Chain A
Amino acid sequence: MAQELLYWQALNRAMDIEMEADESVFTLGEDVGLYGGTYRVTEGLYAKYGEWRVRDTPISENSFTGLGVGAAMAGMRPVVEIMTVNFMLLALDSIINAAAKIPFMSGGQFRMPLVVRVPGGVARQLAAQHAQRLEHTIMNVPGLRIAVPATPQDAYWQLRQAIASDEPIILLEHELLYFGKGPVDLMADPPPMHRAAVRRPGKDLTIISYSRHAVLAEAAAVELAKEGIEAEVIDLRSLRPIDWDTCATSLEKTHRLLVVEEDCRFAGAGAEIAATLAERCFYSLDAPVRRLAGLDIPTPFNGTLEAQSIPQVADIVAAARNLCRSTPGAQAA
């Protein structure tokens, strides 16, 4: 039975269920204990499980993430919360040099059941140092898995799957999604963690996106349908690995691809998606692959400029329309 939950509540339920089921699961980070988490994800857990399993840490990202790595090597299942992705930069040594490499360098003798939960993305006027997307940085690190849940249901499923997994997994949560509501079925069987979801079927073009922009892409598809353009919307759900088969199947049907991302266009996730699919689906493409992405600038503080710096629904609609119109008779084909 599905119930309506906010995104943060879905994560909170996942944490609670996993902590209750397995004593080796614990969480640590800044303000996760007494305060209940910056975005309320650990709310109530401190009271229920105590300070040993819900640890408040000092402002010391590399140290407490390193503590998580060590705990994972010793057989625990830590869930590290880094307050925002911007502060994850300080923890990259623990993540990239330790978590991602130790299983490989030890020939699999050490497993790494580590989850790092990170809020990120452009929220509301938090300025350049607090409004980044760093998926491009960690996508390029072999050994990591990256989940990017866009819905409360996926947040619930993917956090539980991440905790159960023996691989190091970064959960990129979008700051503007925490207070979005959606149906969550706590009992339903989840799809594999990396499986992309076709959010809306269509025949005229494929829009591939992830995280909050997958939600915006769906809204754009509704607008496009009013003009007679049927967009197929794919929410990747995972950036490493990427479910290429689902993408290719769609592209072989629609023959046009628009990649939408909040992150800067240059050398970002969209570049990887566009390049791989152009290689794989070359003979199915009826138009050049298009990318719609954030501008190649630090996020402005000014609210108007901030909104202008990342793709909005109207931008997605316009880009999709252009892609279909530049190949006339799009709807006939």
Chain B
Amino acid sequence: MNDIAIHTENLTRDFSTVRAVDSLTMEVPTGIIFGFLGPNGAGKTTTIRLLLGLLEPTGGRAEVLGFDTRTQANGIRLRTGALLEHPGLYERLSAEDNLEFYGRVWHLPTNERRARIKELLTHLGLWERRKESVRTWSRGMKQKLAVARTLLHRPSLIFMDEPTAGLDPVAAAALREDLLALAAREKVTVFLTTHNLAEAEKLCARVGVIRQGKLLAVGHPDELRARSGAPRAEVIGRGFDEKLLALLRARPEVAAADLQNERLLIDLRGEADVAPLVSLMVSAGAEVEEVRKGKASLEEVFLTLMEEER
């Protein structure tokens, strides 16, 4: 089995004067959930279309599961599953018929098809409602069914374009749990686009950050957090004012200090100790309730990357 599921080299796609994907070079190892992060219009969906061979690149090249996207797109589509921007379900048909159709598309033998449909629908809690027309279902249920359809033929790689977009927090959390469980059980590589950073942090073993078609960073979420700089302290309490901020900023171990939503955020230089800073704050009249020291969240890394590129 190939260790690299997706390999791109200077992959580029233009739409008249707009460059949607700009010299994208990256590798996605086999067997992981890879998160492709970026704001709306960053080029995530275009990248998926390029990788599925649905669009021709303007420049560069890409290989998916060892198949060239330009010349061997059929080989790619045979071995992959895709949950794209929309669930892509036939709403006049029942849930079972939707899966039956795609089971036939992938030439699953009748007995195997039926067993697989039952297995997936049972796992997702939809088996009892399999005969219902999909049009009567909630968006969350439709999205779960679309996940089942994507995994039906046991693909070795699946593409998911913002699978939790538009779902309420409960449905989104349930779908994330299902995705994690199914991906682990099926040992499938997942290429997941999202602009939900908490989701990426929770699901992904590796993430790539894209903006205006350009890949800004790629790595494990921890690596990206580490790359973003030194640790940060978050202080909760009362009496934080401009005078205190000025005192903190004057300290050599403090790179930056800011108030955000009544929380004091202090960016530290190196592995600086927080205790002397707490003493300073207390002596300056502030009341400290809680101090948390840690690295920046993926969201903060993401925002930093977005800012750097502007």
A and B held together in a complex: no
Residues of B participating in the A interface, judged by any CB pair closer than 8 Å:
none
